[in-house]
């Protein structure tokens, strides 16, 4: 078979497309449940079908892929399930916007036709995110792709809903919910985002019914006072507790309100008196339940004052009503004062409209019984990494409220409940009923609402394995091994999956949860389109390749630490990919078509024994870092080993052997070179799958090596304890110190690279002397030295560049090599020029007119320029001092 040649330059795009297609068509990552090996499974956090790949997705996919590819190398039977979420509200909004452009609404189409329209959109546009996942090189099993709204997941959703209903954990009732006037649907508590916004505290007088005075109530929302049904004070507040049991009069309305005592009232906030509006505030709702208060709602589902408000305000929206009510309060002498007050405002996570607490008949899950199990399982059965997220998880579960699961939209799992129009009986059933379960009437109507998208997502770890059917996948791969996700869905998703897994599988859904950090811009700011600092992963893949992006994200993925990302860093790791490619090309030019059949323990040169020892150490470091989720250590260990040790030192050290005439020594080194290169590709493969696959497929093999051409199927490189040689590290450190020290003298004193020098080494003991004498030719070659003198009595001339390596004194005679007077004159000239430029920049930065009026980027640029010049001045000054010391 003809030997495969690597292209002169690494162009990732053709390589990535080729191997991505190969892996999918070959079903490389489609495991057989009956195959041997311990099970290892991951379910992908399903991205919304409306979504596009962002940097958080890219990080998440990279980390999951590292774990899956690494565990395949460990001989495990690995399943990584891909899929998408039907994203009820978001997807419906997308299609409704399309209809609006056509002058239509969903109601013009009707429910059935509208759902058909959404499915059409999904088939046309909804799989874009999956092709983007493919571009990242994710080793998922595409044959088991799932969708939260496909037939099997629908079957699971119905089963769960009905079982929870039969167990009394799902119920229907009136409750205060988060309502989005724009999306026209209820939202769960964790679907509400809170934003700090400037506002006002309006101090309003509420007259006492007996005419003995008034109470002043502070409110941020005067329009809701129309629905007040009480005033609350703290029973411990001596200012007001004597009024408990009396009544006040609601301004503008005239309704009498009981004055009640409740410990919820904060005596320090506002005036210490709280208007209680059960229909329009979550906390007031709870107070209303405790005191059996009347519930009056004055806002309809569009945020308009309804028939329960005074006729004057009916038909007004919230802001219009607020303005009118404040004007009337002031005109009638009820408005005491208005104070500026910043407060937290809840907004819809989808459309960002202000959320309106709203009393409505909805479907709920009773959460406390489920939450207790989920809390007890951490960390006994499930560990969260980093550990500090465990407290956040506990806090949410300890303060959990019942989960509102009904949504007033059409795209989603329709609630499997039917009401009989004859007797009013509710029938909840897995299969669609044909008649009322109570009276047998055929006149039954299904609920219009659909289930919260997170309801189907909560079943993901077991529904993707085929539940409620008894499948091989469910028996083999559940519970899953690890979940990798962002902190922002710890409550939305992670906790709910824990609850549902424990409830229906009687096991936790995953053993480990790794919460990855946030990817920020290079200044540490959150990426957003509005600030224009978004780095698009698809753009980065197009410019630098997927491997460069993956390696960048991995190298900064330190546990619990946000990533500061810049395009320059991704470009830098593209250079690393080029370094790997070029090193491989050099190796392949010096390797025969068939690798020599020599034993690795035959290696006895400093270079070969050292690199084999380091390879063994790197294997152990990579394995430990992966098992401990220290992803950044994986990347940094490989980077140092490949770039600094393998490329910069080992390849340079073995050139004399590869170019020499000693066939036996060459064969040993070729075997070591091939071993280190091939096994390094295996170690690197989970992080950068494409370049390693391309290189592996081109490498020559020893005779009888019939391993697969597909590196993704190879095991983790075997550990060879017999190649560990800790003594060689000491010898190599000495060698590297002498070469680097000599190079530094050349660099610091600005000696031309081509200038041959002499080197004197005064050694401290015979062991160090022996190491240096054994490798004297290499020292000459790498440090560009003509003559080397080694021994305990070596003396350096006065005019010498000097350094010390582990007590050994190295010196380079400089007489005749450096023109000291000329160099000092040149340095003085450069320092004077630099100081003049620095003075100009410093003066500009001291000028308030420039600092205050110039664009921020320009000012920062000048500061950076000054800092760079100060650093350059320090280097030139140090060099001058060094020359002067040598002359002395």
CA dihedral 349, 351, 357, 358 (to 10 degrees): -120
Q: Label residue 148 by pLDDT band (50, 70, 90).
A: very high
Strands 450-451 and 406-407, bridge-based pairing: antiparallel
> Could you read off the pLDDT of 728-742 as tens digits, one per residue?
999 999 999 999 999
CA distances, 327 to each of 205, 393, 794 (Å): 14, 46, 98
> Could you read off the pLDDT of 110-147 as tens digits, one per residue?
999 999 999 999 998 888 999 999 999 999 999 999 99
Helix (H, G, I), strand (E, B) or coil at 125: helix
| Calpha distance 13→545 (Å, rounded) | 6
CA distances, 770 to each of 583, 762, 767 (Å): 31, 12, 5
| Calpha distance 714→719 (Å, rounded) | 14
Among candidate residues 274, 261, 187, 182, the one with its CA nearest the CA of residue 228: 274
Among candidate residues 518, 393, 489, 534, the one with its CA nearest the CA of residue 85: 489
| Calpha distance 707→685 (Å, rounded) | 16
Q: Is the pLDDT higher at 370 or at 354?
A: 370
Residue 783 is encoded by which pair of tokens?
A: 């440090």
Among candidate residues 35, 60, 349, 27, the one with its CA nearest the CA of residue 190: 349
Q: Label residue 156 by pLDDT band (50, 70, 90).
A: very high
| Calpha distance 397→95 (Å, rounded) | 35
> Could you read off the pLDDT of 702-729 as tens digits, one per residue?
988 888 999 999 999 999 999 999 999 9
Enumerate residues 6+ apart whose C-beta is below 8 A from 179: 185, 186, 187, 301, 355, 356, 357, 358, 360
> Could you read off the pLDDT of 786-796 as tens digits, one per residue?
999 999 999 98
| Calpha distance 752→847 (Å, rounded) | 43
Among candidate residues 82, 57, 19, 42, the one with its CA nearest the CA of residue 550: 57
Among candidate residues 791, 772, 794, 792, the one with its CA nearest the CA of residue 783: 772
| Calpha distance 591→3 (Å, rounded) | 11
φ, ψ at 678 (rounded to 5°): -65, -40
Q: Label residue 1 by pLDDT band (50, 70, 90).
A: very low
Least trusted range by pLDDT, from 135-144, 490-499, 627-636: 490-499
Under 8 Å between Cβ of 219 and 202: yes
- Burial classification of residue 855, based on how many CB atoms lie within 10 Å of its CB (0-12 exposed, 13-18 middle, 19 or more buried): exposed
| Calpha distance 506→849 (Å, rounded) | 70
Under 8 Å between Cβ of 516 and 484: yes
- Over residues 164-182, the mean pLDDT reads 90
> Could you read off the pLDDT of 416-425 as tens digits, one per residue?
999 999 999 9
Strands 146-147 and 403-404, bridge-based pairing: unpaired
Cis omega (within 30 of 0) for bond into 314:
no
* CA 380 centroid distance within chain: 25
- Over residues 347-366, the mean pLDDT reads 85
* Average pLDDT of the chain to the nearest whole number: 93
* CA 834 centroid distance within chain: 44
Q: In what order do the strands lie in the sheet with 426-428?
A: 426-428, 417-420, 444-446
The pLDDT of residue 197 is 81
Least trusted range by pLDDT, from 52-66, 181-195, 664-678: 181-195
> Could you read off the pLDDT of 256-309 as tens digits, one per residue?
999 999 989 998 888 999 999 999 998 998 899 889 899 999 999 888 999 999
Q: Which single residue is written with the structure tokens 């001092």?
A: 881
Residue 205 is encoded by which pair of tokens?
A: 């007088």
Cβ neighbours around 780 below 10 Å, total = 17
Cis omega (within 30 of 0) for bond into 413:
no
| Calpha distance 386→182 (Å, rounded) | 37
The pLDDT of residue 320 is 95
Strands 39-43 and 77-81, bridge-based pairing: parallel
DSSP H helical segments within 399-452, as ranges?
none
Q: In what order do the strands lie in the sheet with 192-207?
A: 214-219, 192-207, 335-348
| Calpha distance 547→723 (Å, rounded) | 31
Cβ neighbours around 219 below 10 Å, total = 20
Instruction: Report the range out of 2-16, 595-609, 860-874 with the highest average pLDDT.
Output: 595-609
| Calpha distance 422→219 (Å, rounded) | 46
Under 8 Å between Cβ of 193 and 491: no
Q: Label residue 819 by pLDDT band (50, 70, 90).
A: confident
Give this prediction's pTM: 0.84
Cβ neighbours around 64 below 10 Å, total = 25
- Dihedral sign for Cα 43, 45, 49, 52, please: negative
The pLDDT of residue 888 is 65
- Dihedral sign for Cα 100, 103, 105, 111, please: negative
585 has a pLDDT exceeding 60: yes
Helix (H, G, I), strand (E, B) or coil at 145: coil
Residue 34 is encoded by which pair of tokens?
A: 């009956």
Helix (H, G, I), strand (E, B) or coil at 62: helix
Least trusted range by pLDDT, from 390-404, 658-672, 822-836: 822-836
**Tally of residues, the chain:** 888
> Could you read off the pLDDT of 800-817 as tens digits, one per residue?
888 889 999 999 998 888
Under 8 Å between Cβ of 823 and 750: yes
DSSP H helical segments within 483-536, as ranges?
496-504
The pLDDT of residue 454 is 93
The pLDDT of residue 190 is 64
Q: Is 529 labelled a binding residue? A: yes
The pLDDT of residue 356 is 85
């Amino acid at each position: 078979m003809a030997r495969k040649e690597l292209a002169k330059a690494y162009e990732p795009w053709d390589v990535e497309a080729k191997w991505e297609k190969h892996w999918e068509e070959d079903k490389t990552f489609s495991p057989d449940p009956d195959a041997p090996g311990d099970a290892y499974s991951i379910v992908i956090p399903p991205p919304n079908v409306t979504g596009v790949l962002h940097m958080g997705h890219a990080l998440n996919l990279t980390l999951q892929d590292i774990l899956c590819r690494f565990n395949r190398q460990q001989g495990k039977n690995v399943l990584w399930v891909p899929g998408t979420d039907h994203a009820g509200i978001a997807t419906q909004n997308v299609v409704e916007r399309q209809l609006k452009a056509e002058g239509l609404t969903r109601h013009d189409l009707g429910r059935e036709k509208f759902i058909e329209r959404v499915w059409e959109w999904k088939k046309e546009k909804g799989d874009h995110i999956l092709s983007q996942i493919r571009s990242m090189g994710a080793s998922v099993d595409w044959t088991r792709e799932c969708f939260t709204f496909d037939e099997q997941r629908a079957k699971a959703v119905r089963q769960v809903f009905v079982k929870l209903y039969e167990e009394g954990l799902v119920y229907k009732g009136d409750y205060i919910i988060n309502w989005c006037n724009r999306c026209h649907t209820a939202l769960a508590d964790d679907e509400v985002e809170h934003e700090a916004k400037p506002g006002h505290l309006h101090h309003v007088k509420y007259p006492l019914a007996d005419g003995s005075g008034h109470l002043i109530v502070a409110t941020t929302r005067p329009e809701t006072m129309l629905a007040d049904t009480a005033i609350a004070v703290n029973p411990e507040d001596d200012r007001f507790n004597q009024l408990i049991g009396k009544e006040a009069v609601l301004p503008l309305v005239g309704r009498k309100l009981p004055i009640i005592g409740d410990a919820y009232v904060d005596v320090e906030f506002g005036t210490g008196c709280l208007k209680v509006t059960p229909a329009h505030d979550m906390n007031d709702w709870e107070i209303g339940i405790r005191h059996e208060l009347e519930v009056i709602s004055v806002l309809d589902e569009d945020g308009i004052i309804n028939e329960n408000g005074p006729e004057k305000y009916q038909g007004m929206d919230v802001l219009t009503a607020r303005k009118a009510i404040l004007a009337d309060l002031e005109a009638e002498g009820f408005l005491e004062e208005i104070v500026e007050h910043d407060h937290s405002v809840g907004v819809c996570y989808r459309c960002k409209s202000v959320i309106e607490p709203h009393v409505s008949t909805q479907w709920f899950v009773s959460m406390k019984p489920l939450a207790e199990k989920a809390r007890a399982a951490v960390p006994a059965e499930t560990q969260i990494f980093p550990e500090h997220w465990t407290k956040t998880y506990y806090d949410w579960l300890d303060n959990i409220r019942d989960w509102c699961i009904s949504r007033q939209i059409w795209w989603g799992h329709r609630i499997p409940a039917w009401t009989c129009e004859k007797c009013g009986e509710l029938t909840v059933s897995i299969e669609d009923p044909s008649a009322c379960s109570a009276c047998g009437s055929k006149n039954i109507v299904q609920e219009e609402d659909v289930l919260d998208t997170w309801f189907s997502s909560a079943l993901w770890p077991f529904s993707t394995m085929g539940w409620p059917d008894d499948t091989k996948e469910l028996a083999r791969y559940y519970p899953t091994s690890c979940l990798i996700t962002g902190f922002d869905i710890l409550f939305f998703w992670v906790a709910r999956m824990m609850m549902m897994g424990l409830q229906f599988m009687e096991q936790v859904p995953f053993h480990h949860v790794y919460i990855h950090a946030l990817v920020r811009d290079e200044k540490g700011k959150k990426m957003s389109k509005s600030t224009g600092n978004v780095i698009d992963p698809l753009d980065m893949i197009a410019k630098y390749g997927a491997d460069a992006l993956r390696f960048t994200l991995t190298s900064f993925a330190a546990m619990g630490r946000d990533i500061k990302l810049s395009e320059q860093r991704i470009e830098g790791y593209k250079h690393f990919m080029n370094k790997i490619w070029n090193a491989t090309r050099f190796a392949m030019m010096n390797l025969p078509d068939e690798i020599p059949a020599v034993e690795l323990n035959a290696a006895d040169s400093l270079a070969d024994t050292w690199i084999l020892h380091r390879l063994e150490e790197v294997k152990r470091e990579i394995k430990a870092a992966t098992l401990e989720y220290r992803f950044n250590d994986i990347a940094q260990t490989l980077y140092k080993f490949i770039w600094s040790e393998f490329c910069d030192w080992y390849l340079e050290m073995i050139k004399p052997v590869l170019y020499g005439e000693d066939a036996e020594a060459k064969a040993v080194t070729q075997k070591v070179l091939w071993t280190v290169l091939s096994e390094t590709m295996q170690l690197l493969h989970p992080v950068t799958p494409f370049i390693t696959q391309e290189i592996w497929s081109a490498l020559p093999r020893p005779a009888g090596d019939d391993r697969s051409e597909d590196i993704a199927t190879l095991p983790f490189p075997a550990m060879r304890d017999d190649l560990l040689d800790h003594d060689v590290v000491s010898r190599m450190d000495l060698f590297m110190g002498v070469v680097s020290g000599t190079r530094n003298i050349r660099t610091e004193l600005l000696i031309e690279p081509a200038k041959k020098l002499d080197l004197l080494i005064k050694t401290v003991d015979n062991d160090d002397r022996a190491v240096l004498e054994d490798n004297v030719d290499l020292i000459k070659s790498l440090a560009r030295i003509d003559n080397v003198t080694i021994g305990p009595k070596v003396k350096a001339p006065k005019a010498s560049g000097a350094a010390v390596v582990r007590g050994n004194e190295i010196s380079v005679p400089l007489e005749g090599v450096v023109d000291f007077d000329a160099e000092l004159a040149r340095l003085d000239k450069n320092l004077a020029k630099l100081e003049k430029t620095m003075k100009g920049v410093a003066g500009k930065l001291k000028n308030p007119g420039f600092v205050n009026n110039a664009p921020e980027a320009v000012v920062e640029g000048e500061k950076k320029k000054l800092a760079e010049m100060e650093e350059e001045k320090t280097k030139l000054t140090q060099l001058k001092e060094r020359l002067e010391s040598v002359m002395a």
